[in-house]
Amino acid sequence: MALLFRLHRVAVEHYGMSKAATLWSKQALAERRNAEERSVVQHQVASWRFKQSEDGIFSPTLPGAFLMAWLAVFPLAHIRRALRSKKRQQLYEKLPAAA
């Protein structure tokens, strides 16, 4: 439990989150989630990774398919995973010692 609290404190300090809890209704949460999903999809369409058919179905474009395949190629996927792990380790090292 102490580790979870330390992680919370670091996240609050690092990301500037509010220390006051915010309670959302189920409807507000659903609307917020739908808005987030729409913005992600709109970004993917705007960046030419996906296109939307008249039926509303999203399919990858040629550049999008190339990019998705290239990021999964052997050394790149492993390098990206290692970099994420390194960032995680650096954040963990910034944690204050348990009191």
pLDDT for position 99 = 44
Residue whose pair of structure tokens reads 């990858």 in the numeric block: 60
pTM exceeds 0.85, yes or no: no
Structure confidence at residue 19 (pLDDT): 58
User: For position 21, what pLDDT does the model report?
Assistant: 64
99 residues of the chain, pLDDT tens digit each: 678 877 877 877 777 766 566 677 889 889 999 999 889 888 888 888 899 888 988 889 999 899 888 877 778 778 888 888 888 888 878 877 654
Alpha-carbon span 86 to 92, nearest angstrom: 10
> With the CA atoms of 56, 59, 61 and 62 taken in that order, what torsion angle do they form, in degrees rounded to the nearest 10?
-160
**Domain ranges in the chain?**
2-16+25-93
Contacts of 91 (CB under 8 A, 6+ apart): 10, 14
Separation between Cα atoms, residue 23 and residue 21, nearest integer Å? 6
